[in-house]
Amino acid sequence: MIRSLNILLIVFAFAAPLTAWSEPIRIGGTTSVRDSGLLDALQTAFSEDTGRDMQFIVGGTGRVLKLLEAQDVSGALVHDTRSELALVDGGGAARRLDVMRNDYIILGPREVNVPAEAVPLLQELAATRLAFVSRGDNSGTHKAELRLWQAAQIDVATKAARRWYRKSGTGQGATLNIAASLDAFVLADGATWLAFENKADLRPKGCFGDALKNVYGVLVGYDDQAVDADGALFAQWLTGPGQAVIAAFKIGDMAPFAPLSDMQREGPMPTAEAFCSG
């Protein structure tokens, strides 16, 4: 007993410096940044440029903004401009800057034919009661999806809609898995879709429309009353040297993220055509 305790203490002594007492920069971010692989590229380039390590706490936009407000992370890379600005206005974050675009696509079963425009596509789903799986988790993608239904003037909160409109309440990957096995339609960002490995019979179906625009912003949090220095460093890097890392990031031959420093905010991304034609 005593002996094994001793061994345990030794293990502790070695493991401890690796875990508790180093102080990397903690950034909250959305699943799309991690699951696409962009995160690895950003982490490597960031520590090369600044000499600091970066840790990424992953969750939906809603959860990440809560972490930022609680000052458990120094900054956030998220994609719901409206709630980002609301947090800054409410005093939960110091500032917000544009970072990049990674537009949404609507995925559906390979053999079903629907319009490639987002709004008519959704109207057809509702009219024919084709199954749709929603994130239903208050994430940026979920909020974008709700705005899409609003643009299509369809109320998905009705009792009748429950027969074809399902809420998974989980992350993007889990929701894609569900849609793939239910032969349902689902909204996802292009980068997560490209990197996703269980595509099964899902294919891009809706790639066009203003409501599919997906803008990422970086937020700087507070450290007690002051602006968080780590968060500010990350935001400065991401909107400066980081933009080249984002532009160079590719999955296959597609560049799913477009840095906002060198592209217009309006119009479709170059990837939209490639998704729905391929």
Partner 1 sequence: MIGAFSEAFELLLSGDPALWDVIFRSLWVSSAASVLAMVTAIPLAVLLGTIPFPGRWVINTVVGSFQAIPAVVVGLLVYLLLTKQGPLGDLRLLFTSWAILIAQFILVLPMAVALVTGRMRDLWRRFGDLYRLDGASFGTRMRALFVMAPGPVIVVGLTVFGRAISEVGAAIIVGGNLEYATRVLTTAIKLEVEQGKLAEALAFGAVLLLLALIVNLSARLVTAVLPEQDLERK
Interacting residue ranges for partner 1, rule: CB under 8 A: 4-5, 8, 11-12, 15, 18-20, 24, 26, 31, 35, 55-58, 70-72, 171-174, 176-177, 195-199
- Is residue 252 exposed (0-12), middle (13-18) or buried (19+ Cβ within 10 Å)? exposed
CB of 19 vs partner 1, minimal distance in Å: 4
CB of 37 vs partner 1, minimal distance in Å: 9
Among 19, 45, 23, 31, smallest CA distance to 77 is for 31
Q: Which two tokens stand for residue 203?
A: 């294919």
- The set of residues, in sequence order, having a beta carbon less than 8 Å from that of 277 and lying 6+ positions away, is none
- Spatial separation of the C-alpha atoms in residues 35 and 92, rounded to whole Å: 27
Cβ proximity to partner 1: between 55 and 81 the closer is 55
- Spatial separation of the C-alpha atoms in residues 66 and 138, rounded to whole Å: 12
Cβ proximity to partner 1: between 131 and 174 the closer is 174
Cβ proximity to partner 1: between 18 and 157 the closer is 18
Cβ proximity to partner 1: between 31 and 123 the closer is 31
The answer to whether residues 95 and 88 touch, using CB atoms and an 8 Å cutoff, is yes
Among 151, 63, 58, smallest CA distance to 106 is for 151
CB of 216 vs partner 1, minimal distance in Å: 19
CB of 49 vs partner 1, minimal distance in Å: 20
Cβ proximity to partner 1: between 21 and 265 the closer is 21
CB of 171 vs partner 1, minimal distance in Å: 5
